[in-house]
């Protein structure tokens, strides 16, 4: 039974002609499934409706071939033939009593139309905002008229597909309607440019068109970026956005407000905490009588209640928290707040869309596997005859494997050699900005420690002899990995002999405190190209050391561009006074001098270096596996039926990959081996 203080979150909200069943609103977000994987998309959205989200939105939906986001995999509603795929979504959402919303989009100069080869449109002639050598042409009056018709046609098709809420979208600096609003994109001199009222004209017309076309039975919502964090160069919440919402105050049925661009809207927990958008969206309710939804990576029901009671929001919007735990609303409703699997703000989900593949989630390994593998985040195949399982290693892979097995009714023993649970998660969550990552450990521990069929042992270093002596039939090894100190990585595929006598530390050393107290200049060499090296550089800079960041890449942490962090990471290092030396490899070390060479010219350069922190690659901790493998002939006599390696000790990767590996192991042990492919549905 839910806490009565949360009753307000379960009140219905009227949005034009439709009514929600509660205040939980999954705002539009990309999944990387889109038009190529419609069954996967529908299953993912349906799970959220089952989990209690009163409104479930699909991702941005291209309304016309001139807004082709290829290779990004969004939804499409170019013509009537796209309706059946989207109808799968609405049917999945309606099945559980929720409303289905669709975000119609024409992306203007944000697309290069790589598939359709249409010439992009924009308010004024401009280069597209990708790296493509393509320019958008200025729309003439005929183009504007055609665009208005396309939007109406798409809205009618959306209604036919069964959507209850239809968006007019002007956000994230990636839509034609927002481009018309912004002076930097709109230099027109006709009635669609120049003054504020002229720049607002097309937005007002499209909103009216959409209301007229579908407003009898569908709610028409506006999604608007209220601040771009660009100062006078962009929309500001207290100037232009305030004027836009005031001018259109009660014309839409709902306002969905956020920040722009996407890297501002979906900031990671390393750079922004829960509720970081509140100062920008607080004004909206003061200028409109219509319902308002906003986001802020909210996972706390107490915060949600505060937002409603303060008159800040009518509906609690979420993208990432709804991915991490699709059943968040139901858990609040059922009085199971401690069971909420809280988002850690790592943006691994975002990286899926940015690499044009179905997304993944560090906290929720069933994400995007609801249809393909039939995984449900809250339902597990129960074992007919419980067996014993020994899990060696209490990091992310081991904890997840133990949890899935336990939820399936198996008898689980989990042993961890160190004095604490969590493995790399515990270590990394102590690094600057990564504290919320500890939720990966804490949620799983909270679940496991309450289960009677789980035995948990810390400081239990097991050998091959121990495992053979125990004779437990099923053994999972999740012993992790260790950062290499020999320079081996992408740029240097073999160990660098000159590092053998150099003062080298690894991220493991840093996380165990061995950098503390080191004097003199520190060089961080990054060939991992994600977050670790930049965080290590922060640790070193905080000690007051002179820090130089060397990387073979052109920028700091290039893979973090997929998690929307790259700019912030590089800016932070610059602010901390870290010298950045891109496009250089390691070339030698002698007499407190590190040699580096240009990746293109081979030109040598020497850097003062009393300590080198090498962040390149990791080696699996597979000694226990090798020892057991060497004695495989003794397994049967000892009663061991199978031994598997999981996570980083199998192949080092992301924390998300380790969680996924542990989850897959537990599902497979229960006989859940189904894998479907949408690209060969007739064969399957």
Total domain count, the chain: 3
pLDDT at 679: 83
pLDDT at 680: 77
One domain, residues 532 and 472: no
pLDDT at 681: 66
One domain, residues 522 and 578: yes
pLDDT at 682 over 80: no
pLDDT at 348 over 80: yes
Using alpha carbons, list the distances in angstroms from residue 327 to 273, 300, 446, 468. 22, 14, 17, 41
548-576 pLDDT, tens per residue? Answer: 999 999 999 999 999 999 999 999 999 99
One domain, residues 156 and 274: yes
Q: Which residues contact 591 (CB under 8 A, 6 or more apart)?
A: none
pLDDT at 491 over 80: yes
CATH of the domain at 476: 3.40.50.720
As a whole number, the mean pLDDT across the chain is 97
One domain, residues 299 and 181: yes
Of 586, 601, 619, the residue at which a domain comes to its end is 619
- Environment class of residue 593 by beta-carbon count within 10 Å: exposed (0-12), middle (13-18) or buried (19+)? exposed
For the question of residue 169 being annotated catalytic, the response is yes
256-297 pLDDT, tens per residue? Answer: 999 999 999 999 999 999 999 999 999 999 999 999 999 999
- Environment class of residue 141 by beta-carbon count within 10 Å: exposed (0-12), middle (13-18) or buried (19+)? exposed
> What is the domain range of residue 559?
484-507+515-619
Q: Which residues contact 617 (CB under 8 A, 6 or more apart)?
A: 483, 484, 488, 489, 490, 527, 528, 652
One domain, residues 115 and 257: yes
User: Where residue 384 falls among pLDDT bands split at 50, 70, 90?
Assistant: confident
> Does residue 378 fall inside a structural domain?
no
53-104 pLDDT, tens per residue? Answer: 999 999 999 999 999 999 999 999 999 999 999 999 999 999 999 999 999 9
pLDDT at 684 over 50: no
One domain, residues 641 and 602: no
User: Where residue 683 falls among pLDDT bands split at 50, 70, 90?
Assistant: very low
> Does residue 366 fall inside a structural domain?
no
One domain, residues 172 and 264: yes
pLDDT at 385: 86
Average pLDDT on 367-383 reads 96
> Does residue 70 fall inside a structural domain?
yes
pLDDT at 153 over 80: yes
> Does residue 359 fall inside a structural domain?
no
One domain, residues 466 and 495: no
CATH of the domain at 540: 3.50.50.60
One domain, residues 85 and 211: yes
One domain, residues 541 and 565: yes
Tell me the C-alpha distance between 469 and 467, whole Å.
5
Tell me the C-alpha distance between 459 and 415, whole Å.
8
> Does residue 361 fall inside a structural domain?
no
- Is the CB of residue 76 less than 8 Å from the CB of residue 65? no
One domain, residues 342 and 261: yes
Query: What is the enclosing helix (H) or strand (E) of 481?
Result: strand 481-483
Active-site hit among 25, 37, 167, 169: 169
Active-site hit among 25, 30, 167, 609: 30
Tell me the C-alpha distance between 315 and 173, whole Å.
24
Residue length of the chain: 684
Residues 624-643: b if buried by 16+ CB within 10 A, e if exposed:
bbeebeeeeeebeeeebeeb
- Is the CB of residue 63 less than 8 Å from the CB of residue 71? no
CATH of the domain at 66: 3.20.20.70
Of 328, 354, 380, the residue at which a domain comes to its end is 354
For the question of residue 265 being annotated catalytic, the response is yes
Active-site hit among 129, 173, 253, 265: 265
Active-site hit among 44, 110, 151, 172: 172
Supply the DSSP symbol for 310: T
pLDDT at 469 over 50: yes
The beta-carbon contacts of 589-595 under 8 Å, at least 24 apart in sequence, are 589/498, 589/499, 589/501, 589/502, 590/498, 592/520, 594/502, 594/523, 594/550
One domain, residues 22 and 41: yes
> Does residue 368 fall inside a structural domain?
no
586-623 pLDDT, tens per residue? Answer: 999 999 999 999 999 999 999 999 999 999 999 999 99
183-199 pLDDT, tens per residue? Answer: 999 999 999 999 999 99
């Amino acid at each position: 039974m839910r806490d009565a203080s949360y009753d307000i979150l379960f009140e219905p909200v009227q949005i034009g002609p439709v009514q929600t069943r509660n205040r939980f609103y999954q705002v539009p977000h990309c999944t990387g499934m889109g038009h190529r994987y419609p069954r996967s998309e529908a299953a993912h959205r349906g799970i959220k409706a089952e989990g209690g989200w009163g409104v479930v939105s699909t991702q941005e939906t291209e309304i016309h071939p001139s807004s082709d986001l290829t290779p990004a995999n969004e939804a499409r509603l170019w013509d009537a033939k796209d309706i059946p795929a989207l109808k799968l979504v609405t049917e999945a959402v309606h099945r559980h009593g929720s409303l289905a919303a669709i975000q119609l989009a024409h992306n203007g100069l944000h697309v290069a139309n790589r598939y359709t080869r249409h010439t992009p449109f924009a308010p004024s002639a401009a280069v597209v905002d990708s790296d493509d050598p393509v320019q958008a042409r200025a729309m003439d009056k005929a183009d504007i008229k055609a665009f208005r018709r396309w939007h109406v046609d798409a809205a009618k098709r959306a209604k036919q597909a069964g959507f209850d809420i239809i968006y007019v979208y002007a956000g994230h600096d990636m839509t034609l309607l927002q481009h018309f609003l912004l002076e930097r994109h709109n230099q027109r001199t006709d009635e669609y440019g120049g003054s504020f009222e002229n720049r607002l004209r097309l937005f007002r017309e499209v909103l009216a068109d959409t209301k007229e076309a579908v407003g009898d039975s569908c709610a028409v919502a506006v999604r608007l970026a209220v601040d771009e964090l660009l100062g006078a160069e962009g929309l500001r919440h207290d100037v232009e956005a305030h004027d836009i919402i005031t001018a259109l105050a009660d014309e839409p049925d709902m306002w969905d407000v956020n920040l722009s661009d996407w890297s501002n809207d979906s900031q990671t927990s390393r750079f922004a905490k829960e509720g970081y958008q509140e100062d920008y969206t607080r004004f909206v309710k003061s200028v409109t009588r219509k319902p308002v939804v906003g986001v802020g990576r909210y996972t706390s029901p107490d915060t949600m209640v505060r937002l409603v009671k303060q008159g800040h929001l009518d509906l609690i919007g979420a993208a990432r928290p709804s991915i991490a735990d699709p059943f968040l609303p139901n858990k609040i409703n059922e009085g199971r707040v401690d069971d909420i699997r809280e988002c850690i703000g790592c943006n691994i989900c975002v990286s899926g869309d940015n690499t044009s593949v179905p997304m993944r989630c560090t906290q929720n390994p069933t994400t995007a596997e609801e249809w393909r593998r039939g995984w449900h985040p809250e339902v597990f195949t129960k074992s007919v005859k419980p067996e014993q399982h020994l899990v060696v290693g209490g990091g992310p892979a081991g904890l997840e494997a133990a949890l899935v097995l336990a939820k399936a009714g198996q008898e689980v023993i989990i042993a961890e050699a160190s004095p604490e649970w969590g493995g790399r998660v515990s270590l990394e969550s102590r690094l600057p900005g990564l504290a919320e990552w500890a939720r990966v450990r804490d949620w799983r521990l909270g679940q496991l420690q309450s289960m009677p069929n789980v035995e948990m042992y810390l400081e239990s270093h097991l050998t091959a002899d121990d495992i053979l002596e125990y004779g437990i039939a099923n053994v999972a090894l999740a012993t992790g990995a260790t950062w290499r100190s020999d320079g081996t990585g992408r740029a240097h595929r073999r160990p660098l002999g000159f590092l053998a006598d150099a003062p080298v530390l690894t991220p493991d050393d840093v996380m165990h405190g061995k950098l503390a107290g080191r004097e003199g200049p520190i060089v961080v060499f990054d060939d991992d190209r994600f977050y670790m090296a930049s965080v290590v550089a922060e640790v070193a800079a905080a000690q007051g050391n002179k820090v130089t960041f060397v990387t073979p890449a052109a920028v700091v942490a290039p893979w973090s561009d997929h998690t929307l962090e790259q700019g912030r990471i590089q800016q932070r290092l610059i602010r901390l006074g870290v010298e950045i030396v891109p496009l250089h490899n390691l070339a030698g070390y002698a007499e407190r001098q590190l040699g580096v060479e240009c990746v293109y010219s081979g030109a040598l350069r020497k850097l003062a270096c009393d300590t080198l922190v090498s962040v390149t690659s990791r080696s699996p901790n597979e000694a226990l596996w090798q020892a057991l493998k060497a004695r495989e002939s003794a397994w049967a006599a000892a009663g061991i039926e199978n031994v598997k390696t999981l996570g980083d000790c199998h192949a080092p990767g992301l924390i998300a990959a380790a969680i996924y590996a542990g989850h897959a192991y537990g599902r497979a042990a229960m006989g859940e081996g189904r894998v479907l492919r949408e690209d060969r549905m007739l064969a399957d």
